Amino acid sequence: MRKLVVSNLVSLDGYYEGRGRSLPALFEHDHRDYASDTSFHLYNAERLRAADTLLLSGRTSFLAFRDDWSRVPGDPDAPAFRRELAGLMNPVPKVVVSDRLTEDDLAPWTHTRMIRRADCHREIAALKAGEGRDILVFAGRLLWNDLLARPTAWSTSST
């Protein structure tokens, strides 16, 4: 049975995003002592090496990930740790839970398929029951909160 692993940012006081529902706004208050700390990025690289499926949730989140990470390999100014993460993330098969994405939205990320919200518990249970390495969930707080609240809906024992 495959593991479903969530990697997400949340502040100590429980914020998942900054002002205006912006994830980058969460970093506006980074302390200069942590500017060169790559611990979270190294952790995510380790998680990506252990996974063979990346699970993303929502059109906005997916498009932000796709746009950012598909650009990194061609950016000569990208830090080495971002290039490493992009090298791990871009080729891995991706599953996106969304009712609003279209097939055209998926490019340039290859190996990406969509599942609809109504089917996500069944599809995630099938992923977990299948062969392979970890399934990594990046961000997607609405998805993983739903999965936490209703584990019997997607556990492999219900398939």
**CB-based contacts of 139, cutoff 8 Å, min separation 6:** 8, 9, 23, 56, 57, 61, 65
Residue 159's pLDDT is what?
Answer: 41
Residue in this structure with the two tokens 């398929």, named with its chain if needed: 113
- Answer yes or no: are the C-beta atoms of 97 and 130 closer than 8 Å: no
Q: Which pLDDT band, with edges at 50, 70 and 90, does 14 fall under?
A: confident
Predicted confidence (pLDDT) per residue in 141-159, tens digit: 788 888 888 877 777 654 4
The whole-model pTM stands at 0.84
The mean-pLDDT minimum among 28-32, 47-51, 115-119, 138-142 falls in 28-32
What span, in angstroms and rounded, lies between the C-alpha atoms of 23 and 16? 7
What span, in angstroms and rounded, lies between the C-alpha atoms of 114 and 58? 10
CATH tag, 4-158: 3.40.430
Domain ranges, ordered by start, for the chain: 4-158
The mean-pLDDT minimum among 20-24, 94-98, 127-131, 140-144 falls in 20-24
Residue 24's pLDDT is what?
Answer: 65
Predicted confidence (pLDDT) per residue in 68-108, tens digit: 899 999 899 988 888 999 999 999 999 999 999 999 999 99
Residue 96's pLDDT is what?
Answer: 95
Q: Starting from the edge strand earliest in sequence, which strands make up the sheet with 51-57, in order?
A: 4-7, 134-138, 51-57, 94-97, 112-115
Decide the pairing of beta strands 112-115 and 134-138.
Answer: unpaired
